Chain A
């Protein structure tokens, strides 16, 4: 029976060791990336190609998600609002919700699945089929060739996609608000302007930048360290999406605390 007893200290210890090991290795990878930034002739063209590829590929799903999020926010705001509050307040709530939270977070979570899974699977496959070893055996830096282009492309692209998401989200929010709140265009624009501060846009961009780092760096690391064939690639891909999503939520809370209070 003693072998079946769960000792929580052992699990906590293992978790702590494993986390420390991941943090150490990610830090080392980041250092390698900073060193590799000098080799811009290698990573810049690749980053451009990837950004183009990922940007166009993600635009539809990002805009679709934002459109639904904006519309649902309007409907729910209409459901909760009472006649005692001026209707332009609702416009302020809808627009601010989309710009500050829904646009960046939903876009990042969608991209964690789309880009994160792709990066982890690509690099994981390259690792288990020795393509990464092959690159290094040719005296080339796998970080400059494979990691930096992906991280740069993703990190620069996420804020751009968040802008698209926010514009579409606000647009669909306005259309939905017309029926759910019976609000005029003038009232909607007034409410949106009344509550909007330029810092809100900056905050959304700063958030998106960090989300972009999380979406790209974590999956690249997971794929880069994948082991044991197809099963290892599968595990790396799943872990990458889960870890990137959790990190996005953690960063969301942290940045709100640091930048909005």
Chain B
């Protein structure tokens, strides 16, 4: 379980997170929504200790990330796969080496046969051909880089997956592929996932619960149905842009008449 309590974070004079409370239960997928620059990625980076809060607590599996010694923090990070917004692939290494770095168990990482099999398996899971392994990040398209980023994140068999804007900058077709992939990994690997996004439709498609970050605070958190029926002004405004498309999809999925949405 992931639990953030009263987390605040400032950069200089700018308050980005203002006493944020946020929790994710084991096995669920939560989409963290919010406008660009609102602090979604900052919140996500607190979960694996890439950023430390100015105040408040971040607890993962009962361990307070803020006070973890170096070794325990490294061990915790190896259980949390992190998919970066632009892939953050090591550009001097090929795809094989990139994914291999994701194998966090030292014994497994030292076994070349295991690494080869695991890399091939991960590439297959993210719908990439085995020959992609020999390519360098610069030779890949944006969508492929994102998928390699996901493959690297799952290579170490994590319990948690954190996705930072997995569909940003992608065309609708590739965005749908990534959304489906998030759902598929959730089903096949049973991981607990948090997806930071401003793609409302994608969030409704894959998430069990949604949270909306607005002006440094989580102002709404609930199921897709709760969001569709929310009277909260900020939620309505955020959903408005994609509302018709999202509502149609939601009605189709839930078999709802759509009356709840108004």
Is the CB of B216 closer than 8 A to any CB of chain A? no
Q: Which A residues touch B73, using CB under 8 A? A: 139
User: Chain B residues with Cβ under 8 A from A131's Cβ?
Assistant: 88-91
A-B pairs, top 7 by smallest CB distance, nearest first, are: A139-B78, A134-B88, A139-B77, A130-B88, A137-B82, A139-B74, A130-B84
The answer on a CB contact under 8 Å between A138 and B85 is: no
Distance of A83 from chain B, by nearest CB (Å): 60
Question: B65-77 CB contact bits vs A (8 Å, 1 = yes)?
Answer: 0000000011111
Please classify how large the interface on chain B is, using the bins under 10, 10 to 19, 20 to 34, 35 or more.
20 to 34
Interface residues of B (CB under 8 A from A): 45, 48, 50, 73-78, 80, 82, 84-86, 88-91, 101-102, 104, 152, 156
The minimal Cβ–Cβ distance linking B100 to chain A, given in whole angstroms, is 11
A-chain residues with CB within 8 Å of residue B85 when the two chains form the complex: 130
- CB contacts (< 8 Å) of A140 on chain B: these are 74, 101, 104
Q: Are B74 and A133 in contact (CB under 8 A)?
A: no
19 chain-A/chain-B pairs, Cβ below 8 angstroms: A126-B90, A129-B91, A130-B84, A130-B88, A131-B88, A133-B88, A135-B90, A136-B77, A137-B50, A137-B77, A137-B80, A138-B78, A138-B82, A139-B76, A139-B77, A139-B78, A139-B104, A140-B101, A141-B74
Shortest distance from the beta carbon of A224 to any chain B beta carbon, whole Å: 14
Residues of A within 8 A of B101 (CB): 135, 138, 140
B84 touches A133 (CB 8 A): yes
**CA–CA, A31 and B153, complex, Å:** 29
Among A126, A129, A135, A138, the residue within 8 A (CB) of B86 is A129
Among the listed A129, A139, A141, which residue makes an inter-chain contact with B88, where contact means beta carbons less than 8 Å apart?
A: A129
Contact across chains for A134 and B82 when beta carbons are under 8 A apart? yes
Which residues does chain B contribute within 8 Å of A126, judged by CB atoms? 90
A138 touches B84 (CB 8 A): no
- Which residue of B is nearest A122, CB measured? B92
Expressed in whole angstroms, the Cα–Cα distance for A129 and B145 within the complex equals 13
Which A residue sits closest to B164, measured CB to CB? A130
| Interchain CA distance A139-B102 in the complex, whole Å | 9
By the criterion CB–CB under 8 Å, are B90 and A134 in contact?
yes
Task: Give, as a whole number of angstroms, the nearest-CB distance from A229 to chain B.
Answer: 12
Residue numbers in B under 8 Å from A139 (CB-CB): 73-78, 104
Residues 209-249 of A contacting B (Cβ, < 8 Å): none
Q: Which residues of B contact A137 (CB under 8 A)?
A: 48, 50, 77, 80, 82, 84
Interface set, chain A 123-182, CB cutoff 8 A to B: 126, 129-131, 133-141
Task: Kindly state the separation between the CA atoms of A138 and B76 in the bound complex, as whole angstroms.
Answer: 9
Q: Specify the chain B residue showing the minimal Cβ separation from A136.
A: B50
Report A164 CB to chain B, min CB distance, Å. Answer: 27
Residue of A nearest to B103 (CB): A138
A2 to B80, CA, bound (A): 54
Residues of A within 8 A of B91 (CB): 129, 131
A130 and B84 alpha carbons, distance in the complex (Å)? 8
- The interface residues of chain B lying within 8 Å CB-to-CB of A136 are 50, 77
A138 and B90: CB pair below 8 A? no
CA distance A28 to B24 in the complex (A): 34
List, in ascending order, chain B residues with CB within 8 A of A134's CB. 82, 84, 88-90, 152
Given contacts A134-B84, A136-B77, A140-B101, 7 further A-B contacts (CB under 8 A): A133-B50, A133-B88, A134-B88, A137-B77, A138-B101, A138-B102, A139-B74
| Chain A, Cβ-Cβ closest to B50 | A133
Q: How far is the CB of A35 from chain B (nearest CB, A)?
A: 8
Check A138–B50 contact: CB distance below 8 A.
Answer: no
Tell me the smallest distance from the CB of B44 to a CB of chain A, in Å: 10
- Report yes or no: B104 in contact with A138, Cβ–Cβ below 8 A: yes
A261 to B84, CA, bound (A): 56
Complex Cα–Cα for A139 and B73 (A): 7
Cα A140 to Cα B88 with chains together (Å): 15
Q: How long is the Cα–Cα vector from A114 to B168 in the complex, in angstroms? A: 37
User: Among A129, A131, A137, which residue has the most Cβ atoms of chain B within 10 A?
Assistant: A137
How far does the Cβ of A143 sit from chain B's closest Cβ, in whole Å?
11
- Tell me the complex Cα distance, A140–B156, Å: 12
Shortest A216–chain B CB gap in Å is: 18
Bound-complex Cα distance A137 to B164 (A): 13
A126 to B137, CA, bound (A): 13
Give the residue among A131, A135, A138, A140 with the most B Cβ atoms within 10 A.
Answer: A138
- For the complex, what is the distance from the CA of A259 to the CA of B44, rounded to whole Å? 53
Bound-complex Cα distance A136 to B76 (A): 11
Closest A residue to B102 using CB positions: A138
